[in-house]
Chains A and B, each alone.
Chain A
Amino acid sequence: MDKSTRHANTPTHKCRDIRTHSIHTTHSTMSSSGWNTLESDAGVFTELVESLGVKSVEINELLSLDADQLRAVAPLYGVIFLFKYSHSALAPTTPGIPQDGSYDPDAEHAIFFARQKIQNACATQAILSIVLNRSDIQLGSALTEFKAFVEGFDSELRGETLSNSELIRLTHNSFSRPTPFVDETQLQRQAGDDDDLYHFIAYLPVNGTLYELDGLQPYPISHGACTDETFSEKIVEVLYRRIARYPADEVRFNLLAVCHDRRELLAAVGDTEGLLREEEKRAEWRRENVLRRENFVGLIYEVLKGVLGHSVVNKGGVAFEKMISDAKAKTQKRLEEAQRRKMQSNSW
């Protein structure tokens, strides 16, 4: 089995094909909201945070809410809790009194907390909420500058500044799927998300307190005393309480751990096997990110031509027409199914 060769860590946005490139740039200049949606994937977020200049940090998905699992990825800088909900009635924010914990308005200036201004930016914002609050992470020059720049701002202004940051926005967007044309919000919705909404919330211990940083809330939320050592235990309790508030089948949760680059830790203790596994994981992430940046239009065109030549046209003249009419029938059927399902779910 071939392994992809190792590559430099900097993501290069190479456009494979002049044709796909020109379609892509047409899209970027026309985009209005400015921030594209990202796939919620540990590999995407890890490369994103690296591209922002942060050193030695990776993001891993945790498959269960378990203190041991959290301890296993120590040093743990914080966690990002991801909600995926399909009905706006379940939106996790209600301004006013937080459902758990307490508002800490004073913390607004002591820590980095920014109001969320743009829905599509929420993943990046959650990641920044963690890395910008850790003194033990090397931010790189761009983010160090950014942090200093917004030091004295209130959370509203910090949020504005973040959403206006060209560097952060462009880096964020470089991880989104290229859509070949025009109104990308409409296209991305049609691409099959059926109105799922995402929300990201960051949790980490800062200054001896466990904070919940939710850009849709007016202030940071405190969950009481907490240190790096007790974080794994406490966060599990907090998150269990949170999950219990929602009907199980209507909201999906994901947990992402922001932790130290595991390759460095494994290399330091001489765990060659573990290191090998980590390298494989990274290679897989890299490969997927490379594929994510492609719109594949050129490849699609060639393979479709090949399939037509190979298995349609050689069957005689009407075969193509039959393929077209069969395709229409399939589309028709799917539309009816969707219609039927929509009618059934109208009990909302």
Chain B
Amino acid sequence: MSDQITLLTFKAGRVDFNPPSKHLKPLPQKGKITVSRSNDEDAPLLSFVWEPRGSSKNDPSVERDELMIFPGEAEWLPVSQCKTGRVCVLKFNSSSQRSFFWLQDPPAGDKLDEISGADLKIATRINTLLEDVFADEVDITQDANEAAAPNGDDVEMADSASPSNNTTTQTPNLTNLLRSIVIPSSESGSATNSADILASSTPILNITDAITPSQIASYASSLDESDPKLTNLYKLLPSEIPHNKYELLRVLQSPQFLQGLNSLSSTLHSSEGYNVGQLVSQELGMPYRGEGIEGFLRGVLAALDEEQHPDANQDGDAEMQE
């Protein structure tokens, strides 16, 4: 609009965030954010627009989104706890509204996944404007774009044809980004490092989400006929079932066994105030490691550990049965 003064533009994609889920999901479409204000000095409103650019403009399902923001109503924060992507949030102070974005400008230097100095400059600029729409207009869009000279290997987004009207954008590897933002990465050993925003307290709803029926069958199948572990499994079969590997595998792959896994999962998960996990671990004679399916699996691990290292000192097993 001709009566809008553009204050700042930069390339950014949207990130889906739907409470009560704490899950962030970056969307792949190319976009840009334009921060502008009205020419009219009596309207101290900041216009914050996200719109698709390049090939994403052709996608009818992708819509332009405009927010009109009063001074002091919101702030723009890089999500620094997210070490695997350049995610920022437009956070409103008086409501729970939050809009997440991921920066699509080529990052300075070779750190693809971290908030760069240029990113912080943008953030500062946005926050300044959010406080005062008439703050000094220093055009830093040049800075942001210049910060990254397009270089040799481009990683284009999967859904883009090479746009002729766009400077080539070196985007971080999208698959990696999607995967790594969504789940707190434990590869760096810093599972506890992830943001409150990211899922860390999801309960597991079914044992089969951790160990699949086919893993169970493969394991049983791999056991040698003479292995005492196999004999132990036979002992746990219903009495009318013959004790051989063929029948064992039939049982492990039966709908009734799968139903048993589902039932136990339900029981462990929905304790409804009863300490079901405690009861189950007592019944089975395994160490108690908490409620829910996670607690149960940790208990199984602890039991395995005891079996493998029977002489090691065990601590914290106040509820351990003989």
Contacts and interface: CB of A to CB of B under 8 A. Distances in A.
Q: Is the A/B pair a real complex? A: yes
Interface of A: 1-2, 4-5, 7, 14, 16-17, 19, 22-23, 177, 179-183, 186-187, 190-192, 286-288, 290-311, 313, 318, 320-332, 334-336
B284 A297 contact: yes
18 contacts: A4-B242, A16-B236, A16-B239, A182-B267, A190-B270, A288-B256, A291-B238, A291-B257, A295-B260, A296-B260, A299-B233, A309-B308, A311-B215, A318-B189, A327-B204, A327-B209, A328-B203, A332-B202
A204 B60 CA distance: 60
Contacts of A179: 263, 266-267
Q: How large is the interface on B (under 10, 10 to 19, 20 to 34, 35 or more residues)?
A: 35 or more
Q: Which of A14, A303, A323 has the most CB of B within 10 A?
A: A303
A19 B284 contact: yes
B240 A306 contact: no
Given A305-B304, A334-B205, A292 B256 contact: yes
A303 B284 contact: no
Nearest to A323: B210
B244 A286 contact: no
A165 to B, nearest CB: 27
A318 B279 contact: no
Given A183-B272, A307-B216, A327-B210, A321 B229 contact: no
Contact of B284 (A294, A298, A326, A336): A298
Interface stretch (B5-13, B80-88, B167-175, B293-301): B293-301
A330 B209 CA distance: 6
Given A324-B204, A325-B183, A328-B199, A302 B260 contact: no
A273 B97 CA distance: 73
The 3 closest A-B CB pairs, nearest first, are A296-B260, A291-B256, A327-B210
Contacts of B203: 328, 331
A181 B205 CA distance: 17
Nearest to A178: B263
B186 A299 contact: no
Contacts of A335: 21, 205
B232 interface: yes
B266 A191 contact: yes
Contact of A2 (B216, B219, B246): B246
Contacts of A191: 259, 262-263, 266
- The residue in B238, B263, B276 that gathers the most chain A C-beta atoms within 10 A of its C-beta is B263
A336 B267 CA distance: 22
Interface string B251-288: 11010110111111011001010101001100111100
Interface of B: 21, 23, 182-184, 186-187, 189, 191, 199, 202-207, 209-211, 215-216, 218-220, 222-223, 229, 232-233, 236-242, 244, 246-247, 251-252, 254, 256-257, 259-264, 266-267, 270, 272, 274, 276, 279-280, 283-286, 293-294, 297, 300-301, 303-304, 307-308
Contacts of A295: 260, 263-264
A295 B257 CA distance: 8
A223 B300 CA distance: 60
A328 B202 contact: yes
B259 A303 contact: no
Nearest to A3: B242
Given A302-B236, A332-B21, A182 B257 contact: no
A177 B259 contact: yes
Contacts of B216: 303-304, 307
B246 A300 contact: no
A291 B252 contact: no
Contacts of B237: 16, 299
A303 B264 contact: no
Contacts of B284: 19, 297-298, 301
Contacts of B238: 14, 16, 290-291, 293-294
A331 B23 contact: no
A307 B211 contact: yes
Contacts of B252: 303
Contact of A336 (B21, B206, B263, B300): B21
B254 A291 contact: yes
Given A292-B256, A298-B284, A304 B211 contact: yes
B272 A182 contact: yes
Contact of A286 (B222, B240, B254): B240
A187 B215 contact: no
B38 to A, nearest CB: 37
A300 B215 CA distance: 12
